[in-house]
Amino acid sequence: MKKYLCLLFVILFSCNNNDENKIAIVIHGGAGIILKENISKSKEDSIINKLDEAISKGWELLKKGESSELAVIETIKILEDSPLFNAGKGSVFNSDGKVENDASIMRGNDLNAGASSGTSNVKNPITLAADVMNHSGHVFLSGKGAESFAKNRNLEIVENEYFHTKFRYNQLLNKKDEDKYGTVGCVAIDIDGNIVAGTSTGGMTNKKWGRIGDSPIIGAGTYADNNTCGISSTGSGEYFIRTVAAYQVSSLLENHDYDLKKAMSKVIHKKIGSIGGDGGMIGIDKNSNISMEFNTPGMYRAYVNKYGEKEILLYEN
């Protein structure tokens, strides 16, 4: 166990049938300047507990034979409802002192996808992205239109103040670099071998002019294809858009015979790193192998792999 590893624990879940060897789930809660010396013990505990709650919820659903789509949505909702992450409740402020959320989801069996950007009153943006995928006939809705669609779908609507936390407001005032990340994402594979990936974020602190990051962009922040893998990204979104990061990993598997770890490593360290971008990604391949890669000091992350082993990690590899 390396120096910066905060916590590593492995729990063997009871495996009663062969199906459980197919299911797997991985989440992230953002990559960035996440250093043990900058995080209090109580905050560290809170983050670990919330990651644990979220990954356990998704794993339990998969174990019951539920779809990876449901597992991803329910897992991300737990992270969106927590003020600890830059998504939903804990989203960062834009330059106007307002919160605007972005989210996306993609299904690997039919390559269907849904995304929303710049919404200011939808409590759980991941549910909006899923409804866009399943009920809008479109892939990507933005701003007021996305909010009207959410209302029509009877999704929970809140005042923008619901998202306002003191912690994030101070970040806006201080324009602090630390802790500005915290996007959340989840990738899961179910007993039918369907891979789903989802991502949700408040974007970047102090973002201006209706800025949209990679998180709601299919191919950059999120991608899933049952023939290759599912990916959710986090980090400096502009770089992930420019490198079509999530799709590029899938393409390396499909067209260049890379395995998931090698493909993610190439995209994060060579493609994104070489043009000055920072961040990370999580993924699951069609054989239920999990990989997590980042070029920042840390990335909040957790998984339960196909052997039923759970790990929760915050700092360096």
Q: Mind telling me the catalytic residues?
A: 183
If the CB atoms of residues 102 and 190 are measured against ligand ASP, the closer one turns out to be 102
If the CB atoms of residues 85 and 149 are measured against ligand ASP, the closer one turns out to be 85
CA-to-CA distance for 186 and 126, rounded, in angstroms?
A: 11
Smallest distance from the beta carbon of 120 to ligand ASP, in angstroms?
15
Smallest distance from the beta carbon of 215 to ligand ASP, in angstroms?
5
If the CB atoms of residues 69 and 214 are measured against ligand ASP, the closer one turns out to be 214
CA neighbor of 8 nearest in space, from 313, 260, 290, 222: 313
CA-to-CA distance for 179 and 84, rounded, in angstroms?
A: 10
Bridge pairing between strands 298-304 and 290-294: unpaired
If the CB atoms of residues 124 and 236 are measured against ligand ASP, the closer one turns out to be 236
Smallest distance from the beta carbon of 282 to ligand ASP, in angstroms?
12
Cβ atoms within 10 Å of 190's Cβ, excluding its own: 25
Torsion of CA 285, 290, 246, 205, to 10 degrees: 160
Q: Cα 112 to chain center, whole Å?
A: 18
CA neighbor of 70 nearest in space, from 121, 134, 158: 134
Three-class secondary structure of residue 115 per DSSP: strand
Q: What is the phi/psi pair of residue 236, to 5°?
A: -70, 100
CA-to-CA distance for 179 and 114, rounded, in angstroms?
A: 28
Smallest distance from the beta carbon of 157 to ligand ASP, in angstroms?
22
Smallest distance from the beta carbon of 60 to ligand ASP, in angstroms?
26
If the CB atoms of residues 282 and 313 are measured against ligand ASP, the closer one turns out to be 282
If the CB atoms of residues 114 and 203 are measured against ligand ASP, the closer one turns out to be 203
CA neighbor of 109 nearest in space, from 224, 247, 255: 224
Tokens of 290: 């999990």
CA neighbor of 116 nearest in space, from 219, 241, 201: 201
Using CB under 6 A as the criterion, which residues of the chain lie in contact with ligand ASP when the complex forms?
30, 86, 181, 183, 201, 203-204, 213-215, 234-235, 237
Smallest distance from the beta carbon of 273 to ligand ASP, in angstroms?
15
Check: CB of residue 227 under 8 Å from CB of residue 193: no
| Element containing residue 199 per DSSP (H, E) | strand 195-201
| Element containing residue 16 per DSSP (H, E) | none
If the CB atoms of residues 61 and 78 are measured against ligand ASP, the closer one turns out to be 78
Check: CB of residue 10 under 8 Å from CB of residue 311: yes
Smallest distance from the beta carbon of 86 to ligand ASP, in angstroms?
6
